[in-house]
Amino acid sequence: MYEHVVPRKNYATIVSVKSPGDAVRDKYDIFGREAQVDQIVKAVRLGDDLRYRLGVGVLPVVGAEGVGKTALTQLIFHHEIIKAEFPVRMWAHVSGELLLSKQLMLQMIHPVVTGDAGHDVQDARELLLAQLAGKRFLLVLDHVTDVSDAQWRDLMEVLQPAARRSLIMVTTQSQDAAVAVGTMPPLILGPMAFDDYWRMFKHFAFGAADEAEEDCTPLVDEWDDLEEEEEELSPMEQIAHEMAKNMGCAPLPARAIGRSLYFRRDEEGHWKDVLDDSLWQQGDIGGVSPALWLSYQHLDPRLKQCFAYCAVFPGDYVFRKEELEQMWVGHGFIYSDDPAATLEDVAGEFFDELVERCFFQPLGRNRYIMHNTMQKLARAVSGSQFHMVTDSSGEVPQEVRHLTITTNNLLKLKMDLALQLSHPSDHHFLQQVRTILFFEDFGDSDDFLEVLVEIFSITKSVRVLGLSSANISLLPAEIGLLRHLRYLNVSRNRLTELPDTMCQLHLLQVLDVKCNSPYLRPPNGMTNLIHLRHLRACEAFLSAIPDIQLLSNLQELEAICIKSGTHANALRQMVQLKGALCVANLRRSDASGFKKGILKGTKHLNKLQHLNKLHLSWASSSSMPGSNEVSVDEEVLECLTDCLNWESLPCLHDMPCLEAHHRRRSAFHRMVDRELDKTHVIPLPLQARDKKLSQPDDLPRRPPFTHHHDH
């Protein structure tokens, strides 16, 4: 819980919020659309549309902006009956004309392909063909404005291997688009009835306790008896009721201002101030309703800054929670007076608060998006310090501090950024820019690399640089000139090497090189990046870093392949690691080095206290292990004896010594006994499995043990 740092009455205190999972459930609460939900579920189960019965049906959901098309479709997407009907469910945010682009294909394969691999369009096509073969799917295409016949044919060709009775749902404001692609009658969404709207607003403003009353909704034949009864409202309900009348029955404002009021639900004076605010009389400002403006105005100042920064994202951009949090940290937006809390912990609290207040919409699997209206709000409050270079954008303001590039028109880009001038100014505006994010595919263009070289040569203050999916195979050596850089994302490219000059970025906190060439290796001098906190890379890249223990501030290290006992021992110094860690190839390890390494730290509360999952992998072998390897396994298991705080067991397959070592009766082995009694995964002597637990209270509480195989 964080107390308000600016003691002014009109700001809301940052409080502990529900888990993101709870926020997701709130997002799918639906009011006044029960008939539409039933209609869609019935069409899925019993629909007689010929194309649906014989192949792929298309159901358009049509309505004005903000009427609740996406919210309704999300509810359908997560409906238990729908989950049972469709083994494969995919969601893609189109946000414009439907184009079978790399970005769209990556969105489609995200839920059906495990891992975080990079793919080009052809890879994505092949993966979808394989994953969809013989299976029913549900695909949601959200916010489609137009569809060409050629693009639609291409999409249907990709989806052709799927089983019959598959379904595409298209949300759109365009009746023409609905007619062009629909095979089923379109579902037309109009504004909510005020009674339903009032129920929804009460739910968000007063909390879920009101929903207990909703469970007792009268039967249809009882409504007549209640129509003449006037609802008695409490003083605060009267205030809320007047607010609801001002919002035009739009769902998003009700959610946002409702959650804002909920956090100060005991302050009637504050609610009156909100109701009496002059913003209600001004109507929409910049396409944003007064309710959303008020929701923003009553944020804590720190949250205002964090939200305004989201203006750097293009429309319907899907982002990871950690991605945005790390950008905030890189810019210095996050601080804490609590020495026990990391900057990432505080950023996580801020992020969850914005989710709870409906500024971000959760999509599941750690993915989030901003509603179009919220993006308008972010751009409105961010002012001229944020600028997006598009195919049709105007002149870049000289006071710009954060640049977003969504065009691959290099001529336009050079003109807008005033590059390649015959007499460049000593005070080029790029010298003050702190964020540069590229969101386009530049096709491995040499001309684009020249643009990057010039940008890197001019910029002096950039702290966040994003080149994800720019489709480059080379990172210019001039990257080393960005001495203030804190965040560098070059994931999903074709990089085969990184320049050694990158190791001059001594302030770098985040480096993301995931999903590049499998042959990508770390540059010489990698351990000079002593402030590095987050390193996202493949196992081969991580395992090739010499003296990795010098990167002692690292908080995440997804996987590392042990090459020697020295390599294992290095992990002992990396006490900031948290989350999950996979240690592979333990047969190559010297057990004494491993005992001094990661496991030694685990049993002490003051070391590796943030690490909650450890995956140990002994590389599989077609031959039986020799006696020396058995000894190694036994010593490593001995290291686990003192690890009393495990929440989940490591993978115990391929451990030939387990039977012999099991006799030692440590807490770890008693936990193995208990779980093997349930699963019978590993064959052990009957007498070992049947032994009773002598000290059951010593065992940690944990989820059911599962057995995994290395691939």
Same domain, yes or no: 280 and 332:
yes
Residue 507 lies in a domain: no
Residue ending a domain, choose from 124, 159, 188: 188
Same domain, yes or no: 171 and 213:
no
Residue 681 lies in a domain: no
Same domain, yes or no: 203 and 182:
no
> What gap in Å lies between CA 269 and CA 514, rounded to an integer?
51
> What gap in Å lies between CA 197 and CA 32, rounded to an integer?
8
Query: 418 — alpha (psi -120 to 50), left (phi > 0) or beta?
Result: left
For residue 408, pLDDT over 60 is answered with: yes
> What gap in Å lies between CA 207 and CA 531, rounded to an integer?
43
pLDDT, greater one: 8 or 289: 289
Count the residues in the chain. 711
pTM of the predicted protein model: 0.79
- Sorted by sequence, the CB contacts under 8 Å of residue 671 that are 6+ apart come out as 646, 649, 699, 700, 702
> What gap in Å lies between CA 73 and CA 599, rounded to an integer?
47
pLDDT bucket at 226, cuts 50 / 70 / 90: very low
Query: For residue 128, what pLDDT is reported?
Result: 78
Query: For residue 100, what pLDDT is reported?
Result: 73
What is the span of the domain harbouring residue 174?
A: 33-188
Same domain, yes or no: 212 and 251:
yes
Same domain, yes or no: 227 and 164:
no
CA distances from 196 to 34, 177, 203, 486 (A): 11, 29, 11, 48
Same domain, yes or no: 79 and 95:
yes
How would you label 31-70 residue by residue, b for 16+ Cβ within 10 Å and e otherwise?
bbbeebeeebbebbeebebeebeebbbbbbbbbeebbbbb
- For CA atoms 676, 682, 683, 685, the dihedral sign is negative
For residue 227, pLDDT over 90 is answered with: no
471-481 pLDDT, tens per residue?
A: 999 999 999 99
Same domain, yes or no: 239 and 374:
yes
Instruction: Return mean pLDDT, the chain.
Output: 78
**Maximum Cα–Cα distance across the chain:** 86
Same domain, yes or no: 184 and 305:
no
Residue 639 lies in a domain: no
Residue 534 lies in a domain: no
Same domain, yes or no: 174 and 206:
no
Residue 174 lies in a domain: yes
- Sorted by sequence, the CB contacts under 8 Å of residue 109 that are 6+ apart come out as 119, 124, 127, 128, 131
Same domain, yes or no: 143 and 274:
no
Same domain, yes or no: 147 and 199:
no
Within 13 A of 240's CA, how many CA atoms are on the CB side? 29
Tokens 């769902």 correspond to 251
Query: In degrees rounded to 5, what are phi and psi of residue 459?
Result: -65, 135
**Among candidates 311, 371, 365, 376, which has minimal Cα distance to 143?**
371
Tokens matching residue 461: 């203050």
Q: How many CB atoms lie within 10 A of CB 210?
A: 14
For residue 708, pLDDT over 80 is answered with: no
Looking at the 3D structure of the chain, how many domains does it have? Answer: 2
For residue 210, pLDDT over 70 is answered with: no
Helix (H, G, I), strand (E, B) or coil at 671: helix
Beta bridge mates, 560: 583
Tokens matching residue 659: 């039977």
Residue ending a domain, choose from 170, 188, 206: 188
Residue 459 lies in a domain: no
The region of weakest confidence among 237-246, 360-369, 607-616 is: 607-616
Residue ending a domain, choose from 380, 407, 432: 380
pLDDT, greater one: 505 or 11: 505
CATH number of the domain that residue 81 is part of: 3.40.50.300
Query: For residue 645, what pLDDT is reported?
Result: 53
Same domain, yes or no: 213 and 113:
no
Beta bridge mates, 61: 171, 187
Query: For residue 120, what pLDDT is reported?
Result: 57
Mean pLDDT within 547-568: 74
Query: For residue 201, what pLDDT is reported?
Result: 94
Query: For residue 253, what pLDDT is reported?
Result: 93
- For CA atoms 395, 401, 403, 409, the dihedral sign is positive
